[in-house]
Structure 1
Amino acid sequence: MNEQDKYTAHNGTSHTNTQDTMGTKTSTTYVYDSQLQKKPSELQASYEKELGMHMDLMSVGSGHRSKRSHNSTRTMLASFLIGAMVVGGFAYAADRNNLFSGGSAAAGSGTAQVASGSAQQDAGLTTASLGSDATVAQIYEAASPAVVKIETYTEASRQSTMMDDPLFRQFFGGERGGEQGQEQEEQQPSDQSSGSELTLSGSGTGFFFESDGYILTNEHVVSGAKEVKVTVQGYDEPLTAQVMGSSYELDLAVLKVTSPDGKAFPSLELGNSDETRIGDSVIAIGNPYGFDQTMTMGVLSAKERPITIADDQGEHEYEHLLQTDASINPGNSGGPLLNEEGQVIGINTAVNAEAQGIGFAIPTTTISKVLEQLKTNTL
């Protein structure tokens, strides 16, 4: 390798034509010749040497004009210093006033105000602000009165006692007979005479979709219930609901309650789930594990999800479900999944118990097709 090759990784600029001993041109190599590798003292000495040689040449060539040349050099140096000061001052002022960033205010104590100010809006920028949190609170405040808690009651067999044992009655005179036994049976409450009474068997969520008392929920929430009670905000006692229609295949049910005071119930608007996009913010409201009116928030994780759920009647196939990472737990079933406008885009239905943040909701596109049939029990 010749002497020229070992400079190809340095900084600086120059180029050299290399020739062999015969004078024939072989190649042209562009290299980076670094002046930054010299020490400051060496640079100063080199500069003073060059300046001294230049002054000597001017003195020899000019003779009696050397004084004028010296004054000219001082004038040029003074002009250079003045120019440097002017340019430096302008650069400082430009940086201080942020002249080259479109007029945006400098970052400081007003950072939050700048983030939502008109300067960034004019530049086409969008940033998160406290207004988004206020919007979520407003959606919950408006929607939660229409969300109800549903409790179901079923018959529970009366527990047997020793008095029910025929052998016990035979030896200890417990056998009922004659008019005395008939009188005791007549005095029994009707639910006891049938050998059962109503007990709380489960709970879930629903919501008013019409102000005259129609409630939408899951079929599995009210399945097998002898009586359904609905807790509505603003009422001291639960209201008894009637199951108008249900569909096991779709896991949908419509209930109906009557207002004791004749007032209209608050209701939620059904939106179009087809217009939603993956990544949209969603809000779930329900009664998970008995914690009434719980709100959770997340995003729409996926659409058109098929899942299979095993229940008492076998495997239940669902299609076209919405997937969300908003927390869905037992008790959320039948509750609304809302979009950013407060519209219902789905009914919370299922959750993957072995995972976190994988919940599913029946989309409103499925619900809207059968809603009137559910109301009239003609599905």
Structure 2
Amino acid sequence: MLKTKGILLVMAVSIITSVASIWGYQKLTQESYVGISSNGKLPVNYAGFYDNNNAPAGPVDFTAASTAATPAVVHIKARTKAKQVTNNIPRQRNPFSDWFGDGIFDDFFGGPRVQMIPEQKASGSGVLISDDGYIVTNNHVINGADEINVTLTNRKTYKATLVGADPSSDLAVLKIESSKLPFLLYGNSDDVKLGQWVLAVGYPLNLDVTVTAGIVSAKARAIGVNDRQSDRPIESFIQTDAAVNPGNSGGALINTNGELIGINSAIASPTGSYAGYSYAIPVNLVKKIVNDMIKYGAVQR
């Protein structure tokens, strides 16, 4: 009997001990999880997925900037009428004048020579900078033109008047008579950084409005291209690798916010078409010259 009671007592103690051990383990485990929770929830993310605030920079979207810029970039066509030019460079004396005296040999030996210059046409691009029709372009696009026509992206064409031109910077300002026109806002070319994305907008090769993308590869470049127009050229180009071809001259260089940061002006090319580098006049220089032309009709230096 005593033996049986002893066995039952041992079994009871064992059961109580086991239950107490299990309860204690659960309590300890529960407190450990609560402790972790009280320190803050551990961040959990799916692999390869990032929320908007912490996402790394992805591909740049050019659509908003292109949509904003294209209506404000115009197609310019300039025409120079055919004209006669008299060459008054002195030539050698006509040795037959003493005998014939009728000037029959003057075309060979003396007298003015008249040359006929045929009609010339040029095309390029321009940028609307106000809603009342002021346009900035390159001087070489309209230089010497007798007639300038401007076509907007809505296919409307206007006759333009020349407000002012500056060969030293290769800039010119035109005016068309209209209102409530789309125009580009000025950016700050001093803030332009090497490697940043830019867009070139214009009418290359007489095509419709065209947008190309590239990066800024250099700043404050002087390439000597304005030496052809002025004995006091001003050059401090933004160099990019955005594709620019004949017809892009006078068009817009914009940042990804759609702000004007330059006026496309030249390309470095052995063929005359795009071969790797293009050059734009920085907008901070453009602003000064344009404001002078609109206010005074000429650049104040």
Q: Do these two structures clear the TM 0.5 threshold for a shared fold by scoring above it?
A: yes
- Distance, in Å, in 2 between the alignment partners of 1:272 and 1:127 is 23
Alignment equivalent of 1:268, drawn from 159, 179, 184: 184
Q: Establish whether residue 339 from structure 1 lines up as the match of residue 269 from structure 2.
A: no
Q: Report if aligned partners of 2:168, 2:230 keep a CA contact under 8 Å in 1.
A: no
Deviations 1:227-280 (CA, angstroms, capped at 9, x unpaired): 1000012244x2100000010001110000012xxx411000111100111111
Deviations 1:17-55 (CA, angstroms, capped at 9, x unpaired): xxxxxxxxxxxxxxxxxxxxxxxxxxxxxxxxxxxxxxx
- Distance, in Å, in 2 between the alignment partners of 1:334 and 1:271 is 17
What's the CA shift for 1:145?
A: 0.7
TM-score with structure 1 setting the length? 0.55
Gaps of 5+ in 1: 1-100, 159-194
Q: Which residue of 2 aligns with 1:357?
A: 276
Stretch of structure 1 that moved more, 347-356 or 208-217:
347-356
Q: Which has the higher contact order (CA 8 A, sep 6+)?
A: 2
Q: Which residue of 1 aligns with 2:58?
A: 128
What's the CA shift for 1:316?
A: 7.6
- Distance, in Å, in 2 between the alignment partners of 1:316 and 1:103 is 64
What's the CA shift for 1:370?
A: 1.9
Alignment equivalent of 1:305, drawn from 221, 239, 244: 221
- Distance, in Å, in 1 between the alignment partners of 2:153 and 2:198 is 23
Q: Report if aligned partners of 2:269, 2:276 keep a CA contact under 8 Å in 1.
A: no
Rate the CA distance shift 1:274–1:246 in 2: closer, same or farther, 3 A. Answer: same
| Higher helix residue share | 1
Within 5 Å, which residues of 2 pair with 1:312-327?
313=229, 317-327=233-243
Q: Which residue of 1 aligns with 2:94?
A: none
Q: Which residue of 2 aligns with 1:366?
A: 285
Q: Report if aligned partners of 1:210, 1:268 keep a CA contact under 8 Å in 2.
A: yes
- Distance, in Å, in 2 between the alignment partners of 1:283 and 1:256 is 25
SS across alignment from 1:144: helix
Tell me the amino acid that sits aligned with residue 335 of structure 1. G
Q: Which residue of 2 aligns with 1:330?
A: 246
Alignment equivalent of 1:258, drawn from 156, 177, 180: 177
Gaps of 5+ in 2: 1-41, 85-114
Rate the CA distance shift 1:363–1:312 in 2: closer, same or farther, 3 A. Answer: closer
Deviations 1:289-328 (CA, angstroms, capped at 9, x unpaired): 1112010000111111111127765778442210000011
Q: Which residue of 2 aligns with 1:96?
A: none
Within 5 Å, which residues of 2 pair with 1:183-202?
199=119, 201-202=121-122
What's the CA shift for 1:356?
A: 2.7
Q: Which residue of 2 aligns with 1:287?
A: 203
Tell me the amino acid that sits aligned with residue 126 of structure 1. P
Q: Report if aligned partners of 1:306, 1:317 keep a CA contact under 8 Å in 2.
A: no
- Distance, in Å, in 2 between the alignment partners of 1:138 and 1:200 is 38
Rate the CA distance shift 1:157–1:347 in 2: closer, same or farther, 3 A. Answer: same
Q: Which residue of 1 aligns with 2:142?
A: 222
Rate the CA distance shift 1:312–1:318 in 2: closer, same or farther, 3 A. Answer: closer
Alignment equivalent of 2:168, drawn from 226, 249, 269: 249
TM-score with structure 2 setting the length? 0.68
Q: Which residue of 1 aligns with 2:131?
A: 211
- Distance, in Å, in 2 between the alignment partners of 1:316 and 1:326 is 28
Q: CA RMSD in A?
A: 2.6
Which aligned runs of 4 or more in structure 1 are off by greater than 6 angstroms? 195-198
